Amino acid sequence: MVPLAALSHYNAGNAPLSVNHQGLFVASTISFNLLPGAALGDAATEIDNAVKQIRMPASVHGSLAGTAEVFAESLAYEPVLIVAAIAAVYILLGVLYESYIHPITILSTLPSAGVGAILALMLFHTEFSIIALIGVILLIGIVKKNAILMIDFAIEAKRTQNLSSYDAIFQACSLRFRPIMMTTTAAILGAMPLAVSFGNGGEIRRPLGISIVGGLLISQLLTLYTTPVVYLYLDRLGQWSLRTRGRLLPGLFGEPPMTPAE
């Protein structure tokens, strides 16, 4: 038998009872808590700055885990999620109205909704969490109904009554004002219980209600004035584009070629 001392040496000391791994690498977890009112995004930024300042060796890597990891992943996909939702709405509206321009008129109501949601969250000192983002995505479907009610009526009036763009949108604003106010009021009253909810789970539902109510209030004040203006300018742009294409390629857009006398 070969004694152990011939192959190795040993001494008394402290050693961990277990070695934690993350994937194939040895890992150590450092936990942290947030101060009251502090946001997780700000804490993650501070941790990244601290890691860059201490200049760890290339063999040591740091990354977020747990709730912070889920938060970082959600931030990475937020822009893609919002762009995908807007693109899907644009495609559906383009198929519905058979136009490339009128969906832009309807989507022009979305910035006011996003600004209203963010202002409401800032006013009530509520962080922009995943639940608040869900509220903004819901606003994409709720807010655009104001423009849909007006644009749909204006397009139909132009086709059936041979009205000008100005007369058609003016008549649409006059006749669709009441349905717009009724539907918006119903949506706001439906979101109010979420915005003022308390008790168990209230902190999760409250950002959703605040973002919806704030977005609806601001967008309601703005879209009643901006949507008719955007419709008129984009409609003129569409008519100018048709005339330009007709002059460049006569005969391909339902117009006979122009003779020199014309």
Looking up tokens 């007369």 gives 167
For 167-181, the DSSP string reads HHHHHHHHHHHHHHH
User: Under CATH, domain 67-247 is a member of which superfamily?
Assistant: Multidrug efflux transporter AcrB transmembrane domain (1.20.1640.10)
150 with 128: CB under 8 angstroms? Answer: no
122 with 67: CB under 8 angstroms? Answer: no
**pLDDT for the residue 247:** 60
**pLDDT for the residue 69:** 67
Q: What is the mean pLDDT of each run of 10 residues along the chain (262 residues)?
A: 80 81 78 75 79 80 72 72 83 82 83 85 81 81 83 83 84 87 88 80 81 87 84 81 63 44 42
Predicted model pTM: 0.63
Question: Tokens representing 141?
Answer: 């479907």
Domain ranges of the chain: 67-247
Question: Tokens representing 189?
Answer: 């009253």
Of 144, 105, 137, give the one whose Cα is nearest residue 212: 137
Strands (E), 18-83: 21-22, 25-26
d(CA 72, CA 225): 38
